[in-house]
Chains A and B, each alone.
Chain A
Amino acid sequence: MLFNSIEFLIFFPLVCLTYYVIPYKARTVFLLICSYFFYMCWNPKYALLMLTSTAITYLSGILISGCDRIADEKQRTARKKQYVALSFISNLLILFFFKYYNLFSGTVNTILELLDIRYTIPRFDVLLPVGISFYTFQALSYTADVYRNDIYAEKNFLKYALFVSFFPQLVAGPIERSKNLLVQISQKHPFDFENVRHGFLLMLYGYFQKIVLSSYLAMVVDAVYDGWTECSGLQLTIATACFAFQIYCDFGGYSNIAIGAAEIMGFRIMDNFNAPYLSRSVSEFWRRWHISLSTWFRDYLYIPLGGNRLGRWRKYLNLMIVFLVSGLWHGAEYHFVVCGGINGLFQVIGDLMKPVKKKVNELLHIGTDSALHRILQTAITFYLLMITWIFFRADSLSSAFGILSRMLYITPAWFAHEGGLSSIGLERSDAGILAFSMIVLFISDIFRYRNIQVRDFIIAQKPAVRLAICYAAVMFLLIFGVYGPEYDSAAFIYFQF
């Protein structure tokens, strides 16, 4: 069940109520049952897959910690590495089969065809299990953390199974670490109104991002991208900028709902997005965007590859590897890989250009802390990111290049000459709501950038003010949110009979 479904709006309050009513001892089992139920609402069979990953990583933890009894250090490390490798390989094989096998077989078949070899690798019609990339990475981080002695192996299987399947962040992150979440599973979480207020406000904001902003932005993106061959450079630029915010609000909104839902139950989950579009460089962006994944790759891929410790060119190679893999993680299509590759490339070029930028700034006496300089950096970073998003959104590599080449030719014609709002799929009333919502997002992100939580400010108000803000927010969502069956006013205009 999705967070923006009726089922979840029934499921979640019921879970919360029961969770706080039952004794502490029963809560782990209760949350585990709820989490599996939540997951099985998509496809009950795939719960077995999650259980398999859970069992493998649980055992890996026990086995790795069991190696501490081996006296010989070399032998101990070698054995530990074997178990880590076993856990990683088996989990990644499952991920590969369900997510990447068809991309792989398609690629091999194309190569075989090019070489005129009459052999085809079979394709399987498998449905991608929801959230497999998320929970696999979360479970693998546990194996790695136990190996690094960052955490003790969890002996209680039920607690560990809940760590892997904890429903708020199960299907779309944040990808939690055992150091944070597994520890909390063993703690008691008494009912606390502060947690409920904080969590509820964050959920509201997440819903605002998801069912208002993301949905309205999708109208523009879908209208333009679905017929991009007929669109001008300006329309494509606007739509691509909208897509940048759509994916932020969609994903960020979902993360905020997850974090808020967990907070209501007393769990603190790591932040996933921190005003990413206010970044002044692409590398800063990746420290603020999908933080739980970026730090996962940093901790479990970039650093093991050598990070920046093996010289400049090796660092660049490592960066490129991480971003290509990150692209692939997002989807089993080559345009995702290209999207990741371009992001890596931007960072490599940015690093190489550092001395040049410094020289130019010195020559032109540009103060790097001046507001203009910062705004310019943010704008340039956003434009560069827009280029990468084209590869994320476009259906194929060829259409991505087509869109990019069109975007480079922005005609000087005024927007009105290109059909106005309707040409980008918006009615005037929708545009008003979108503009207002974007302002709210912008203000909220500026506060976030300065480490100020708007919800702390709201909670600090008198109850009457606090309630008024909540009423306004809930009603705004209920009225302007995109949910429920589509109301087609044309179908409701009766003419005859």
Chain B
Amino acid sequence: MKITAKVRNGFIELLVFFIGICSLLFVSNEVLRKKEGKGVDMVRSFYRLEPESIDVLVLGSSHAYYGFQPNQLWEEHGITSYVLGSPSQTMICSYYLLKEALKYQKPKVVLLEGYYFRSGEVFVFEERLRPVTDNIRTFEYKRDLIEMAFPDAGWKEKLPYYVPFLLYHSRWKEIKKYDFIQPDYYKGALVRFGESPHETPAPPSEELEEIPETAIEYFEKIQDLCRDNNIELVVFKTPITDANGDELEWYLETTGLNNSVAVYLDKQNIPFLPMQNDIDIDYAHDFNDYGHLNFTGQKKATEYLGNWLTAHYDLPSHKEDPAYRSWEKDHEDFLQFLQERRKLVGLDDSDV
């Protein structure tokens, strides 16, 4: 083909077209992708942290991000922390997220919420794997998780995990302000203001529930990672209730699992903080539902964890350090958000 001006212009137009479409797709994908916790966006926002700026990394499921508040830990102890949580985060996901996190941060302590010692699977609900696979940057980890999660699926079924736009393009119907701006002050934690009154639950189980082998396998991988990177590993468990007897079976199973986790961690010489009886929990006011703490519950849990951490590890306050000024600013923004948000209590008790 002879390269005339017409042909050259045609190729330039084609090139501009492709570059333009790719850029537009990138922007649309950013707006339309699902943001966890109405913009808290735990996994994605993690990458906006200053490199090597956090002391404590919290991993785990909703129990972790409803039960721990990094802004409070900053306020009370000047310690920087982040909840790299995701809904129903299994031990396998926690492991990959920790591996990913260590590429960007050098935490001194990893706090792992222990609810998902119960699962040896990659996911419990398929859509809850999404916040991890959609946002984790290292392709190799993303691929490992997807391949492990869907070993028998064809490439077409797996493709929407690699190209999330295929799934999220139809989110245009539910676009909100937080799809455009995700504030930095959440630090991965969610706050719930609803109150679900409960009576003091039944005595916990005295049985030992079996911990799945895969959960142990991946916990030990987490342990190895922490050891190799000189990180203290601590497992905690936020309080639960039996929903006035309605969820007794689940409650006994969970407390039974806690017993096994305690025995196992004792053998491993890993600190375990079950918290159920260690904090002054008010069953009438501190729960958002029978399994998750609300704002006041989170406050008590964080206070306890903060005191325990400072008592056991050398975690100096960064409050006076000018390099950490942004943490103070984020904390102020968080307080303002709390003030505004609490005015709405009673009207809407949803997330954040």
Contact = CB atoms under 8 A, between A and B. Distances in A.
Nearest to B174: A489
Given A190-B1, A429-B173, A497 B291 contact: yes
Contacts of A429: 172-173
Contact of A485 (B24, B128, B160): B160
Interface string B67-104: 00000000000000000000110000000000000000
Contact of A427 (B10, B13, B173): B173
B34 A492 contact: yes
A478 B127 CA distance: 22
Nearest to B127: A491
Contacts of B9: 463
A33 interface: no
A479 B172 contact: yes
A425 to B, nearest CB: 15
Nearest to A428: B173
Interface in B279-311: 289, 291-292
Contacts of B292: 496
A210 B20 CA distance: 24
Greatest chain A CB density within 10 A among B159, B160, B167, B173 is at B173
Interface residues of B, number: 42
Given A190-B1, A429-B173, A467-B17, A487 B10 contact: no
A478 B169 CA distance: 7
B191 interface: no
Interface string A463-486: 100110011001100111111111
A467 B159 contact: no
Interface in B104-131: 115, 124-125, 127-128, 130
A200 to B, nearest CB: 9
A494 B88 CA distance: 9
Contacts of A483: 166, 169
A7 B156 CA distance: 9
A313 interface: no
Nearest to B125: A491
Interface string B13-49: 1001100110011001000101000000000000000
Contact of A497 (B21, B24, B62): B62
A414 interface: no
Contacts of A193: 6-7, 10, 13
A169 B115 CA distance: 57
Nearest to B25: A478
A3 B240 CA distance: 52
A191 interface: yes
B170 interface: yes
Interface string B50-63: 00000000000111
Given A475-B24, A492-B127, A497-B61, A487 B170 contact: yes
Contacts of A463: 9, 13
B interface secondary structure, majority: helix
Contacts of A6: 156, 159
B27 to A, nearest CB: 10
A465 to B, nearest CB: 12
A496 B13 contact: no
A190 B159 CA distance: 35
Interface string A49-93: 000000000000000000000000000000000000000000000
A479 B28 contact: yes
A475 B28 contact: yes
A486 B168 CA distance: 9
A426 to B, nearest CB: 12
Contacts of A485: 160, 166-167
Name, among B127, B170, B172, B291, the residue most crowded by chain A CB atoms within 10 Å (CB to CB). Answer: B170
B286 to A, nearest CB: 16
Nearest to A20: B1
A494 B87 contact: yes
B21 A487 contact: no
Interface string B146-159: 00000000001001
Contacts of A484: 160, 166-167, 169-170
Contacts of A492: 34, 127, 130
B329 interface: no
Contacts of A467: 13, 16-17, 20
A497 B34 contact: no
B251 interface: no
B125 to A, nearest CB: 8
A463 B287 CA distance: 61
Given A193-B7, A471-B24, A478-B25, A497 B115 contact: yes
B20 A487 contact: no
A480 B172 contact: yes
B171 interface: yes
Contacts of A489: 171, 173-174
Interface in A279-304: none
A190 B1 CA distance: 8
Interface in A179-230: 190-191, 193, 196
B236 interface: no
Nearest to B12: A463
Contacts of A481: 169
A474 B21 contact: yes
25 contacts: A191-B1, A193-B7, A196-B10, A430-B173, A467-B13, A467-B16, A467-B17, A471-B17, A475-B21, A475-B28, A478-B25, A480-B169, A486-B170, A487-B168, A487-B169, A489-B171, A492-B34, A492-B130, A494-B62, A494-B87, A496-B289, A496-B291, A497-B63, A497-B87, A497-B115
Given A479-B169, A496-B62, 11 more contacts: A190-B1, A467-B17, A479-B32, A483-B166, A486-B170, A487-B167, A487-B168, A489-B174, A492-B127, A494-B87, A497-B124
3 A-B pairs with the lowest CB-CB distances in the bound complex, closest first: A484-B166, A193-B10, A494-B87
